[in-house]
Structure formats: C-alpha cells, structure tokens
Amino acid sequence: MVARLVLVLGDQLSVDVAALRQADKANDTVVMAEVADEAEYVRHHPKKIALIFAAMRKFAAELETDGWRVAYSRLDDPDNAGSIVGELLRRAEETGAQEVLATEPGEWRLIDKLKYAPIKTHILNDDRFIASHTEFETWAEGRKSMRMEYFYRDMRRKTGLLMDGDKPEGDKWNYDHENRKAADGDLCAEGPLKFEPDEITQDVLGLVESRFGDNFGDLYPFDFATTRKEALQALRHFVRHGLPSFGDYQDAMLKGDAFLYHAVLSPYINIGLLSPLEVCEAAVKAYADGDAPINATEGFIRQIIGWREYMRGIYFQQGSAYTTRNVLKHKRDLPALYWGGETHMSCVGDAVARTRANAYAHHIQRLMLTGNFALLAGVEPTQVHQWYLEVYADAFEWVEAPNVIGMSQFADGGIIASKPYVSSGAYINRMSDYCKGCHYSVTVKTGEKACPFNLLYWHFLDRHRDQFKNNARMGNMYRTWDRMDEAKRNRVLEDADALLKRLDAGEII
C-alpha cells in the first residue's frame, strides 16, 4: 500500500475531519505544521495565533495517544520550510510518501496552493458543514434572490432541529421580532468560561510574544479553551448561563460588557474543537428540558445552521474574486482609529478597544459600529476585509469575507443583504449605553457636536442615491431626507464633508 501524508490544518482540529476519516492509521503519517506563510499572510491578532498553535499542539498529542504517527513542525524548528506545501514536500521526502490526503481548506489562497502542489494531493470535501457545496449551489441555482431565510428553513428540515414533523416548532420559523431588546445598564451576564494556560499554552505564548508581539492586539491575558474537552465545558457553560437570555439581548450593546449573552464559541467551532451540529443540539436539548425559551434557541441555531452555513455557501459559490468586490466604489483608507488610534466616538472606540483586548467583538459591534462606520465613511472594502481577517480569533476567510464584503459593506451589490446595514446614531443610542458619555451628542444633527453617524448616514444616502433610489426597503429613508429643508440638507452634507476631510488628514474625530 502507498504511504500517504494526511494534512491537518490549524482550523481542522477534529478527529472527524474528512482526511483523517479516510486515512489509514497503520500506514499514513499525519502532517501538522506551524508555518510562517499561514501565520504571516495577514498580521493576525496574537491571541488568534496563540489559540491556533496551542490547540494544534494539543490535538497532535491527542492523535499520537490515539495511535497515529504525527509529523508535527513547530514554527521555530530550524528545518521548517515555512509553508504548508513546503512542509508536505519535506515530510514526503522523509517518509517516502507519494500522495497527500487533505481536507479542503477554508480559503481559495490555500486551496490553490494545494491544487498546484508538486505532489499528488487529494482534496476531500470538508463535511464538518451541514450543506455541501453542491447542495448550496443547487439551492442557489436560478434564484433571483438568495436570501438566507429560505436556505435556513431547508437546513432546519435537513437537520430536524426544532422541527415538529415537517412543521417548525411552535409553528413559526423565526422569532427574531422578539429578539431586539435594548440592554439595561444592570444586566449581569456571566460571560464566557475562561481557562488558565497550561505549560503547552505557555510555551506557545512565549513564541507568539517574541515573533508576533508587535501585531495589533493584546496577547495577555490569554484564556481561550485550547482542547475539545475545554471547548465542551465552554459550550455547557454557555447553554446554562448565556442561552436563556441570548435571544432577548442579541442586538444589545453595553460599554461595560464585552460579551453580554453571546456564546463566544465561534473560535472553537471554526477551528474544529466543536461541531456546529453538536452545539445546536445542546441548545435544542436545553429548550426541550425547559431551560431555554424558544426565541433564544431558535435565534441561536439560526446563526449556526442558517447564517454560518449560508456564508460559507456564498464564499465558495462566488469564487475567489469575491473579496475584491467594490460595487459602491469606496476608496478611503482605513482610518487609524481602527488600529487603536484615538477617537472621540465612544461606541467605535469601545468596539476597537474590546477587539484589541479580546480578539473578539460581538456581532452587533462588528456590524453596527466598526462595519457601519467604515461603510458610511466609504472605506475601501478590501481594507475593511483585511482588518476583520486580522483582528478576530474566529476569522477565517470563508466566513469573514461574506460577512464583511457582503453583509457589512454591501460591496457585492446586495447578494447577501437586501439593503446596506447603515444607521444613524439613533439606532446605536437605542441599543446601547454608549451615547451617554460620548463627546458627541446623538441628538445633534449638524455642527461640531453632531454625532458622526448622523452626518455620515445622510451623506452616504445622498452620494449613493443612484444605487439605492429604487430599493423599496430604503424608500422611507430617502423620503425623510427629501423632506428636510434644503438649507439643512446642505449643512449636513457640508459638515459630513468636513468630517471626512478631518478623518483623511489624520485628525482625531
């Protein structure tokens, strides 16, 4: 029998991953490699690199205990070839292997490298997902609109989650309208479970500090789970403490609370420590046991079997050029405030500070603060995309790019979102406590104290009128704008222009 190499990437840390399932423990060698190419192709947050390396090292050790032969390369090994393909070739020479079994990577860049590697490589479908590429393409084929909701219903039917025969549990597919509560200042969410770094993690932290200490983001304290066992504890903790209120406060933001009732499980699901289905099953069990309400449970599983699967489907269906789309022709450079530069905006400043500290911000902060501001300010989408890919521990291109390019920046022209996710300060004020202590005033529409979101919101609508004037969901916005008297409209636009000029000049806004 031909000896083979079995590639396991840093976000494929599951014994159920396709390449391991097809491998032969007796004859094949598992290859896992910390490599400069993957660690440096963008300047990842140090916590993200540490999470991946620590989890890789522990997963490799588990495989060895389970009888696998594992060739593991550390980043600082003197013979490390520096790339995934380089490491495969080096291991092939060492072992005499002539073929590679790989599970499809989550990024076109790496898929292409494997496809054109000078060694025979079998790339297997990554079936950790509920929908295969073919299933998604079949669903998408011939549709005028690819809205997530209908895809999600198919995923409910396919998995049987929260189904009562062929009807949705409670007779409703979607409980979102119950999930828009603003947070009172006195919410006291538990937050995610934290883990003390063991010796292996501490070694990794030392390495990351010395090699990537200058990247944006705090490495310490590091408290992510780095094994499946710990990730399962984090899941149980969320189901018990977070899930019951997840729905109610899903869209809320509080300055003093980085996590609210969010799961903080995406880093673990995305690197393979948890499977999406088991996470949903745990939530549905809590509902069945009477420990979580339907609006929370349905809202939670929709994020995973709906949005997560749908985003992956779009990424692969749209092809590698998707990340360069820029329908609105935005050109502005990403402002320094995204890298922790000073800002008077209490809301965006907090989201960036949380991101730097935790390699995490919850969905509404990503969408309605950093995303909303970048879109209103007209930042070039590829720069926004690169920022999100760098700063979050859960960021892998298959899920990050559609969220940023499609959902957040409308750069794909509306494949994902039926209208751009833009808002004035009023929305932020309604859903958060940020505006209370802000330098700007959320109720002021023009002048120095005017909330930048108020100015830029109208500026955005005005400059993109041609693109959006026929969008039925935006009719009200344009009618409100058109009803304002002309002098006021001109003043708003002038003040917005001046604000953007100050932003470009590097002034603090």
Calpha distance 417→472 (Å, rounded): 13
Binder among 52, 56, 88, 263 for ligand FAD (CB under 6 A): 263
Calpha distance 227→273 (Å, rounded): 7
Q: Is there binding between residue 394 and ligand DLZ (CB under 6 A)? A: no
Calpha distance 321→132 (Å, rounded): 21
By CB under 6 A, which span of 27-35, 62-70, 77-85, 399-407 interacts with ligand FAD? 399-407
Output the CA angle 321-326-331, nearest 5 degrees: 125
By CB under 6 A, which span of 23-31, 297-305, 427-435, 475-483 interacts with ligand FAD? 297-305
Q: Is there binding between residue 271 and ligand FAD (CB under 6 A)? A: no
Nearer of residues 56 and 265 to ligand FAD, judged by Cβ: 265
Q: Which residue has the tokens 């949380």?
A: 354
Select the binding partner of residue 63 from ligand DLZ, ligand FAD, ligand SF4, none (C-beta < 5 to 8 A, by kind).
none
Q: How far is the CB of 10 from ligand DLZ (least distance, A)?
A: 3
Nearer of residues 231 and 438 to ligand DLZ, judged by Cβ: 231
Select the binding partner of residue 338 from ligand FAD, ligand SF4, ligand DLZ, none (C-beta < 5 to 8 A, by kind).
none
Q: How far is the CB of 462 from ligand SF4 (least distance, A)?
A: 19
- In terms of phi and psi (left: phi > 0; alpha: psi -120 to 50; beta: otherwise), the region of 380 is beta
Q: Is there binding between residue 225 and ligand FAD (CB under 6 A)? A: no
Can you name the residues that pair with 100 across neighbouring β-strands? 5, 121
The residues of the shown chain that bind ligand SF4, judged by CB under 6 A, are: 345-347, 425, 428-429, 434-435, 438, 440, 442, 451-453
Nearer of residues 10 and 299 to ligand DLZ, judged by Cβ: 10
Neighbours of 507 (CB within 10 A): 10
Q: Is there binding between residue 126 and ligand DLZ (CB under 6 A)? A: no
Q: Is there binding between residue 105 and ligand DLZ (CB under 6 A)? A: yes
Q: How far is the CB of 347 from ligand SF4 (least distance, A)?
A: 3
Calpha distance 233→226 (Å, rounded): 11
Q: What token pair was written down for 84?
A: 């995934």
In DSSP notation, 32-64 reads EE--HHHHHTTT--HHHHHHHHHHHHHHHHHHH
Neighbours of 499 (CB within 10 A): 19
Binder among 11, 28, 34, 400 for ligand FAD (CB under 6 A): 400
Select the binding partner of residue 461 from ligand FAD, ligand DLZ, ligand SF4, none (C-beta < 5 to 8 A, by kind).
none
Candidates 333, 258, 262, 358; CA nearest to 51 is: 358
Considering only residues 16 to 45 of the shown chain, the ones binding ligand DLZ according to CB under 6 A are 33-35, 38-39, 44
Produce one character per residue of 155-169: b if its CB has 16 or more CB atoms within 10 Å, e if not: bbeebebbeeeeebb
Q: Is there binding between residue 156 and ligand FAD (CB under 6 A)? A: no
Calpha distance 308→302 (Å, rounded): 8
CB 90 within 8 A of CB 79: yes
Nearer of residues 107 and 230 to ligand DLZ, judged by Cβ: 107
CB 387 within 8 A of CB 421: no
The pair phi, psi for residue 47, each rounded to 5°, is -65, -35
Task: Give 116-162 as a 3 state SS string.
Answer: CCCCEEEEECCCCCCCCHHHHHHHHCCCCCCCHHHHHHHHHHHHCCC
Q: How far is the CB of 279 from ligand FAD (least distance, A)?
A: 8
Nearer of residues 205 and 438 to ligand SF4, judged by Cβ: 438
Q: Is there binding between residue 460 and ligand FAD (CB under 6 A)? A: no
Nearer of residues 279 and 345 to ligand SF4, judged by Cβ: 345
Nearer of residues 105 and 306 to ligand DLZ, judged by Cβ: 105
Contact letters for ligand FAD, residues 357-396 (x by CB under 6 A):
-----xx--xx---x----------------x---x-xx-
Given CA atoms 95, 98, 104, 105 in this order, what sign does their dihedral have?
A: positive
CB 276 within 8 A of CB 269: yes
Chain contacts with ligand FAD (rule: CB under 6 A): 262-266, 269-270, 300, 303-304, 307-308, 311, 362-363, 366-367, 371, 388, 392, 394-395, 399-400, 403-404, 407-408
